[in-house]
Amino acid sequence: MYTKSGPIILLAFLVGVWSLGAQFIFNRIIFFYIANSEYVAASIISIHLAGFWLGTLVAQRFRLDILSLIGLTILATLVANIIVWRIGAAVIGLPLTVISAVVCGLVLAALSGALVVRLMGDSSEGGRGVVIADSAGSVLGAVLGGFILIPQFGLSIAFASVLALQSVVMVGMLMVLRPGLRSTLAFGILVIAALVVTLQAPRQSGKDMLVVDGLPIERTHDQAQMRVLYSDNSPYGLVSVVLDADRAKKLLIDNRPLCVARNPGLEELSEWVVGAVPMDIMKFNPRPEWRTANVGLGCGVTVAAMLGKLPPSGKLDIVEINPDMPAAQKNFWPDLPHTPDDARASIHIEDGFRFFAERKDQPFYDVVVIDLAWMQNMNATHLFSQEMYENIARNLQDDGVLAVWSEESNPFSAVSLIMYRTLREVFPHVVIDTTSGVALYYASKTRGDLVNFLSSEATQANVWISEIGMKAPVNRLDNLVMNRHKFTVFGDSTWDRLFDKYDL
């Protein structure tokens, strides 16, 4: 038993650092695959606390010494790095990857709990100082993992940093408890080798993988025929623009497809349609100066459609939360008839919800378009809430039109009906159109003629959905019911639809 309080308190602090740091790594991987704010936010807390609790129970039954527990922690970190990150969904599949991330998170948290219990028993001053030190370390680990390591340096460096911290602690404890130089030197060499492998070994890849700095995503095109035009880290993930073998440009975030631009063929894209239709509806607007807004810059297809129909005296506010998106979107300028550098357009780097919530005493908009993918993401889910639509309605002309793009291809899916019901909670007139391949919504406070701008088959669908849709729940900030219908790790999902849509 080692009873000196100073080293024990320091060790408890470092256990907290690597424990929460590792949990943020697993949380980031889980979030990438399920992208659901409610479930992901809950996972980092429930996994860590459940594992920690299990570790405290196991520690009382199996009296492992400190060196053994640290050694098992290092081993668990290496295994997690290989299975969850290096191999990942490309080899073991999506469900097993998520399950592995959860299991590894539980194991590491359990080992941390066991270490804390053991340190509490060994401390000559009791457990109070150990608990305080571990809590302080957990705070630092969360800050380092969530704000610095993962967003700034990526998951490989984050894994290596956790492993390095654990290894340094192991070497230090060996020097204290096993002063023999041979064992310390041998372990040090082993640690250095493990770090080199962790940092340098490439993730599983092959001709069917596009690998930039984000997570690898399986693709049908040969990697040699795929060219990365732009790649940069942003607060919301790695933003990339790639050119495929068919000369189509795709915008990716962490290698997940966000949008595509093909020219010729722009006017056939749903992103173009959702911007063009409300402008056509308002083309007989007698007001001399149109005010319009687009939430979500993306590839700029919707912006191009709106600018193409905007009068010379009109104004377009482009609201985009990601500060790196305008730079990435410039790669699409050669393929677009109109671009955000148009004198009529202004880009606002701001959350769309806050933009409309805080907008007061300014001219009303004639047209507002929400063109966002990944509706269940943490930075987007609130933009499909009743409160968001209420803020827009407050800034919209009585005869103005709100258009909303969605990922849903079936107008009668649970998510489609929830979106319809939520819009109807705010706007008396709502229609849905799926002729472009996905569900597009058009809403107005006073215009009852919206259906006249749709095809005949869409007209019939709206007769049915007007009855069925009103039975669906409303998506509110205090109860984001739409999210729970997007948690689809084991079934049809946004992931699948995006891959089908962009032929990935």
Question: Roughly what angle, to the nearest 10 degrees, separates helices 128-143 and 94-122?
Answer: 150
Extents of the domains making up the chain: 5-200, 216-261, 266-501
Of 78, 162, 59, 73, the closest CA to residue 120 belongs to 59
CB proximity list for 492: less than 8 A, separation 6 or greater:
none
pLDDT of residue 274: 95
**What is the spatial distance between Cα 329 and Cα 333, in angstroms, rounded to a whole number?**
7
Task: Indicate if the pLDDT at residue 59 is higher than 60.
Answer: yes
212 contacts 228 by C-beta, under 8 angstroms? yes
What does the alpha-carbon distance between residue 318 and residue 337 come to, in Å, rounded to a whole number? 17
Which of 81-95, 106-120, 205-219, 369-383 reaches the highest mean pLDDT?
Answer: 106-120
Give me the percent of the chain exceeding a pLDDT of 70: 79
* Per-residue tokens: 269: 């894209």
The C-alpha atoms of residue 401 and residue 296 are separated, in whole angstroms, by: 17
Work out the number of other CB atoms within 10 angstroms of the CB of residue 206.
10
pLDDT range class, residue 38, cuts 50, 70, 90: low
Give residue-wise pLDDT tens across range 157-203: 888 888 888 888 887 787 777 766 666 666 666 666 666 555 544 44
Helix, strand or coil, per DSSP, at residue 267? helix
Judge contact between 23 and 144, C-beta under 8 A: no
Residue 143 DSSP one-character state: H
What is the per-residue pLDDT for 366?
97
* Residue scoring higher pLDDT (82 or 457): 82
User: Closest by alpha carbon to 80, among 160, 148, 9?
Assistant: 160
The CATH code of the domain at 5-200 is 1.20.1250
What confidence score (pLDDT) does residue 179 get? 66
For the cut 80, the answer to whether the pLDDT of residue 5 exceeds it is: no
Reduced to 3 states (helix: H, G, I; strand: E, B; else coil), residue 359 is coil
List of residues 6+ apart from 27 with CB closer than 8 A: 40, 43, 44, 47, 105
Residue 284 identity: F
What is the spatial distance between Cα 442 and Cα 106, in angstroms, rounded to a whole number? 45
Of 115-124, 234-243, 348-357, the least confident: 115-124
Contact 333/389 with Cβ under 8 angstroms?
A: no
Alpha carbon distance 239, 232 (integer Å): 5
Work out the pLDDT band at 53, boundaries 50, 70, 90. very high
Between the alpha carbon of residue 481 and those of residues 42, 48, 213, 373, 465, the distances in Å are: 16, 25, 33, 17, 19
Confidence of residue 490 (pLDDT cuts 50, 70, 90): very low
In 77-211, beta strands by DSSP E: 209-210
d(CA 230, CA 287): 41
Strand partners, 249: 243, 261
**In the predicted model, what is the mean pLDDT of residues 406-415?**
85
Output the pTM of the full model: 0.70
pLDDT tier at 90 (50, 70, 90 boundaries)?
low
Q: Which of these, 372, 295, 299, 302, lies nearest to 331 by C-alpha position?
A: 299
User: What is the CATH topology of the domain spanning 266-501?
Assistant: Rossmann fold (3.40.50)
Q: What's the angle, vertex CA 113, arms to CA 110 and CA 116, rounded to 5?
A: 150
- Residue 339, sorted as left (phi over 0), alpha (psi -120 to 50) or beta, turns out to be beta
Judge contact between 51 and 116, C-beta under 8 A. Answer: no
Locate tokens 């470092």: which residue?
A: 14
